[in-house]
Amino acid sequence: MTTQDARTSAATTTTDGAIGSHKDYLEGARPDIRVPVRRVHLTNGRDVTLYDTSGPYTDPAVTTDVRRGLAPLRENWIIQRGDTEEYAGRELRPEDDGLKHTAPRGGRLQGAAGDLAGLDAVFPGRPRQPRRSRDGRSVTQLGYAKRGEITPEMEFVAVREKLEPAFVRDEIAAGRAVLPANVNHPETEPMVIGRNFLVKVNANIGNSAVTSSIEEEVEKMTWATRWGADTVMDLSTGRNIHTTREWVLRNSPVPIGTVPLYQALEKVDGKAEELSWEVYKDTVIEQCEQGVDYMTVHAGVLLRYVPLTARRKTGIVSRGGSIMAAWCLAHHQESFLYTHFGELCEILRAYDVTFSLGDGLRPGCIADANDAAQMAELDTLGELNRIAREHDVQTMIEGPGHVPMHKIKENIDRQQEVCDEAPFYTLGPLTTDIAPAYDHITSGIGAAMIGWWGTAMLCYVTPKEHLGLPDKDDVKTGVITYKIAAHAADLAKGHPGAQDWDDALSDARFEFRWEDQFNLALDPETARAFHDETLPAEPAKTAHFCSMCGPKFCSMKISHEIREQHGDALTPDEVAAGMAEKSREFAASGNRVYLPVTN
């Protein structure tokens, strides 16, 4: 691969901002706290400011280069705290990338393996040393919060969420929220996950043994954040796991999550029974040093729970869960994730990596929802949450899966109870099994509901779920669907200011400000394109009617007449009292309900 190739690849990375808006920043308590927002300029002279996850890519003032990575936004904050130090770090090994080739740390661009294409090469950016806590000190946001400190990261998310920094700190201290921010991922823009904040959305990416390249995964990451993904999980399982992750991390403005077990299993050639605490620990440290912000750990799959799944309709559907179940059975021992959990906490604390305690026994179909296996594991996750908390390790809890609507509330209520209100992070849930190819919708329904009832982050599902790997279109559809679910939940929770967005768009609709309607939409391009399919001409964008009713039947137009006749300045009672008079005026005006039309 040549430098020329890399530059061409870089050009494909998403860098365009949303139409009709521009990137802006809100300044925080200190000048280096600059919180990105998307500012939509309306044709009536007003602005609407929206939460923005797209990172520096959508800022025309910033030149990005995927070969160099993003600027380390948080680096000074981390250094200034003085509680971490750089160190040599773990030696990289061929098996980190699936036994294929050696990958020296931070080296220059080099064609490491002949079978690699596109960005499939060692990340060429600036050399870096990993960082970890000094002298075993607690360097987690939870640790700071418990000690009463407000970090720049907390200040940042307070501005982002329009809340007080002390509130952010208190929610984190209580374990009701997490702020995933590995000291080795200084490129990330701080964000918070908790039931008293905006509902967040995660997008999964990742190659598999069957398909996909590093280049595609980096592009999917920037693409997902462009449409609103708050975090991205890299679930790669094929070759080049380490290298893919390096490219993704160095270019990601959002926290990155992983499932270290997938890579550990690659290291033992896919034989679950050959997994060990040593291999797993080595992998976790490798990923901590790279900068992974949160890790799914299936430590709740206990030996005695496995038989509870034997009579399920679809058994164990979590990859991590099934791997650990197989290990437990093979060794007839409790899982090394469970028996070494305290040690794992010590490791994660040193880098401020957040636990995402995986639900390895989540139900894979409607028939298995809320069953004994799932509930048993949830109890154990509650126990592990308390241990993690004692170690100052931030923790969230993963949730299902497939759950019919009437069992969703029971599910989250139970989670909140047994896990001391730790943030719930759910996949969907899918509310029916009958619609493969539409599982973004079957699950978007469940996601909106469980978000309303308190889930803090929703893991998206794409139309390809159960069928194949998502391409860029699927990623976009999944993210948009889940942004809808998250925002619907914010509205239902009465999150302060959430309805402003709806109100701005509805005002634009009522006043036939078509361009504003498009620009305020979650997906301006598609909204505009759909309008233009029926009424393509430019005048139609200022027309006081639309293609649904045509010029004569427009209800909005009639409503305007009613408002004009009946006065903005009157209360409903006053309006009623004056109605007879108004009626005479209406008649005097010629009873014209519709404006003259030309066809």
Site for a second copy in 496-515 (CB under 8 A): 499, 501-503, 505-507, 509-510
Our CB check for a second copy shows the closer of 32 and 273 to be: 273
549 binds a second copy (CB under 8 A): yes
Contact residue for a second copy among 122, 442, 455, 475 (CB under 8 A): 442
Continuous H helices in 274-424: 277-290, 319-331, 336-339, 341-351, 372-390, 408-418
CA separation (Å) from 169 to 141, 156, 158, 164, 387?
A: 9, 11, 9, 9, 20
591 binds a second copy (CB under 8 A): yes
Residues 71-100 that bind a second copy (CB under 8 A): none
Query: What SS3 string covers 66-130?
Result: CCCCCCCCCHHHHHHHCCEEECCCCCCCHHHHCCCCCCCCCCCCCCCCCCCCCCCCCCCCCCCCC
560 binds a second copy (CB under 8 A): yes
| Least distance (Å) between residue 536 CB and a second copy | 10
* Residue 546 known to bind ligand: yes
Tokens of 360: 């390895």
Q: How far is 87 from 81, CA to CA, in rounded Å?
A: 17
Query: What SS3 string covers 450-472?
Result: HHHCCCCEEECCCCCCCCCCCCH
111 binds a second copy (CB under 8 A): no
Contact residue for a second copy among 469, 495, 515, 541 (CB under 8 A): 469
Mask 268-307, x = binds a second copy (CB under 8 A)? --xxxx-----------------------------xx-xx
Our CB check for a second copy shows the closer of 352 and 474 to be: 474
* Residue 233 known to bind ligand: yes
Q: How many CA atoms lie within 13 A of 150 on its CB side?
A: 17
Contact residue for a second copy among 185, 195, 464, 513 (CB under 8 A): 464
Q: How far is 261 from 182, CA to CA, in rounded Å?
A: 19
DSSP 8-class letter at 25 = E
518 binds a second copy (CB under 8 A): yes
| Least distance (Å) between residue 463 CB and a second copy | 7
Q: List beta partners, residue 53.
A: none
* Residue 440 known to bind ligand: no
Contact at 8 Å (CB) between 384 and 356?
A: no
* Residue 318 known to bind ligand: yes
Contact residue for a second copy among 19, 167, 441, 515 (CB under 8 A): 441
| Least distance (Å) between residue 303 CB and a second copy | 8
Our CB check for a second copy shows the closer of 68 and 493 to be: 493
Backbone angles phi, psi at 47, to 5 degrees: -120, 150
413 binds a second copy (CB under 8 A): no
Our CB check for a second copy shows the closer of 166 and 576 to be: 576
Longest dimension (CA), the chain: 91
Contact residue for a second copy among 27, 44, 496, 594 (CB under 8 A): 594
| Least distance (Å) between residue 227 CB and a second copy | 12
409 binds a second copy (CB under 8 A): no
SS3 content of the chain, % helix, strand, coil (to 5): 45, 10, 45
**Centroid of chain to Cα 115:** 32
Continuous H helices in 202-354: 214-227, 241-250, 260-267, 277-290, 319-331, 336-339, 341-351
* Residue 362 known to bind ligand: yes
Cβ contacts of 509 within 8 Å, gap of 6 or more: 517, 556
CA separation (Å) from 555 to 188, 213, 510, 585?
A: 47, 51, 10, 21
Tokens of 211: 């398909």
| Piece in contact with a second copy (CB under 8 A), picked from 31-39, 62-70, 76-84, 530-538 | 530-538
Backbone angles phi, psi at 236, to 5 degrees: -55, 140
Residues 115-154 that bind a second copy (CB under 8 A): none
Burial grade of 425 (CB within 10 A; 0-12, 13-18, 19 or more):
buried
| Least distance (Å) between residue 356 CB and a second copy | 18
Our CB check for a second copy shows the closer of 147 and 563 to be: 563
Our CB check for a second copy shows the closer of 92 and 265 to be: 265
Our CB check for a second copy shows the closer of 31 and 114 to be: 114
The three-class DSSP label of residue 184 is: coil
Contact residue for a second copy among 3, 8, 526, 542 (CB under 8 A): 526
Relative to beta strand 177-178, strand 193-194 is antiparallel
580 binds a second copy (CB under 8 A): yes
Contact residue for a second copy among 174, 433, 515, 541 (CB under 8 A): 433
Our CB check for a second copy shows the closer of 8 and 589 to be: 589
Residues 206-265 that bind a second copy (CB under 8 A): 208-211, 237-238, 262, 265
Our CB check for a second copy shows the closer of 3 and 583 to be: 583
Q: How far is 218 from 10, CA to CA, in rounded Å?
A: 10
Contact residue for a second copy among 404, 410, 414, 420 (CB under 8 A): 404
Query: What SS3 string covers 54-81?
Result: CHHHHCCCCCCCCCCCCCCCCHHHHHHH
CA separation (Å) from 488 to 447, 483, 566?
A: 10, 8, 33
Contact residue for a second copy among 229, 325, 381, 397 (CB under 8 A): 325
Contact residue for a second copy among 3, 405, 496, 542 (CB under 8 A): 405
Q: Indicate the annotated binding residues.
A: 204, 233, 262, 298, 318-320, 359-362, 398, 402, 425, 466, 546, 549, 554
Q: Indicate the annotated binding residues for Zn(2+).
A: 402, 466
Q: Indicate the annotated binding residues for substrate.
A: 204, 233, 262, 298, 318-320, 359-362, 398, 425
